[in-house]
Structure 1
Amino acid sequence: MSGAKIRLSEKEMELVTNAEVILTKNAIIEKVKTLMAELQSSTEEIINQHSYLFAPEAILSRPKISRGENYKGLPYLILDYPRCFEKKNILAIRTMFWWGNFFSITLHLSGKYKELYQQKIIAAFDMIIAHELFIGIHEDQWEHHFEKDNYTAVNDFSAIEFSQIIREQGFLKLAKKIPLTQWDDAKNILLEAYSDLLKLLKD
């Protein structure tokens, strides 16, 4: 039984004997890291120009780029800024690359920050639809995939339903998904989406 488990399929043998697979993957990850570093520099400038939107403690922490190999079995990189992750109070904008899936950018609010901004976001319903954003509906706020049980297009809801979801959930996540096929334009698309998310926090 154990011998059968460790045998390689034809496809697995093809991969394990081909060093180029991992070397190419490593090269791609390095390019994503470079992209995230450029986004970090740009988002710091954007936040400096919009610091009036935030309490000082919310933007006290510097941006952070993190990397992992196993979100649902696949590599990922994330950039968090702002990144205020208190136990009950979260204010973050998270940019994510997920291998084989997408780029995404997410506004994540909970606790006092959700209370502070939720009415402005509810009032921006039409703008949110225009920007083709998704709203997080999963009970676990740390899920990032775009399956139907986690994110739903805001366009699928009426303004009243949208407001109800925001008021009833303990957290608020609004996200934009960018296909990996838009790689060449990803930086500009992500920065535009970043600015769009900040507009939701304005009076």
Structure 2
Amino acid sequence: MENFYLSPEEASIVYSPHFIQLKNSAMEKVMVMMGRLQEELAEYDRGSDFPFEPEWLQQGPKISKGEQYKQLPWVMLDYPRYFSKKAVFAFRTMFWWGHYFSCTLHLAGTVKETFREALVDGYTKLATAGFQVYQQEDPWEHDFENGNYKFIGDVSFEDWKEMVDRYSFIKLAKPFALEHWGGIITEIVAAYATLLSLLNNKGRA
């Protein structure tokens, strides 16, 4: 028989609207933060010489939110946001309740092949900057638990080259502690700049 009785801790939340009101207020502030972050990323793009293909920016930014990424609320910003059947060029920032912020560069298909040499040659820069590489076959997991990611600095250069070629996509990511709240925008823009600089140096003939 299912137990539908509340524990004292559950009851303390159910009997009061205050927790949900605070949670909703916090989520609205995250949405505002993501909007500001998108503006800062776009401002960086306007001042850089990164060779974006026109279609990589045509889809525009997207901010989305939900309640159930592994049973917890989340907010995502996708900018730049280019997803097609043949290629992906996306930079995703995620807030995951109770865990962290994260930013992820997702390259796939023809885009990944364009930047393959830059990715291989960027091994030291990525390792030094503390980036991690995604290890699973399903590209749509976003958290750093369960062995999803590994620090690039913890693999050899030879293993790194194999990781770059392992799948039709690659995801490079960094988590940021929630305690860094006030500096998150600056830190994520800096990570974005590091990634674009790495790709720009060697990404084109």
Q: TM-score range by the shorter chain?
A: over 0.9
Aligned equivalents of 1:167 and 1:50: distance in 2? 28
Query: What do you get for the CA RMSD once the two structures are aligned?
Result: 1.2
Structure 1 residue 146: deviation in Å?
A: 0.4
Structure 1 residue 50: deviation in Å?
A: 3.5
- The match for 1:102 is 100
Q: 1:93 aligns with which of 75, 91, 94?
A: 91
Contact 1:109 1:171 in 2 (8 A): yes
- The match for 2:59 is 61
1:169 aligns with 2:167: yes
1:192 aligns with 2:197: no
TM-score where L is the length of structure 2: 0.94
Deviates more, 1:121-130 or 1:40-49: 40-49
Structure 1 residue 51: deviation in Å?
A: 5.9
Gaps of 5+ in 2: none
Structure 1 residue 81: deviation in Å?
A: 1.0
Letter in 1 for 2:192: Y
Structure 1 residue 165: deviation in Å?
A: 0.8
Contact 2:50 2:200 in 1 (8 A): no
Q: After the TM superposition, which segments of 4 or more aligned residues of structure 1 sit over 6 Å from their partners?
A: none
Aligned equivalents of 1:52 and 1:110: distance in 2? 18
Structure 1 residue 43: deviation in Å?
A: 1.1
1:13 aligns with 2:33: no
Contact 2:50 2:196 in 1 (8 A): no
Letter in 1 for 2:121: A
Structure 1 residue 52: deviation in Å?
A: 4.1
SS of the aligned residue for 1:200 comes to: helix
Aligned equivalents of 2:33 and 2:49: distance in 1? 24
1:45 aligns with 2:43: yes
Gaps of 5+ in 1: none
Aligned equivalents of 2:104 and 2:197: distance in 1? 13
Structure 1 residue 128: deviation in Å?
A: 0.3
Matches within 5 A, 1:70-89: 70-89=68-87
- The match for 2:33 is 35
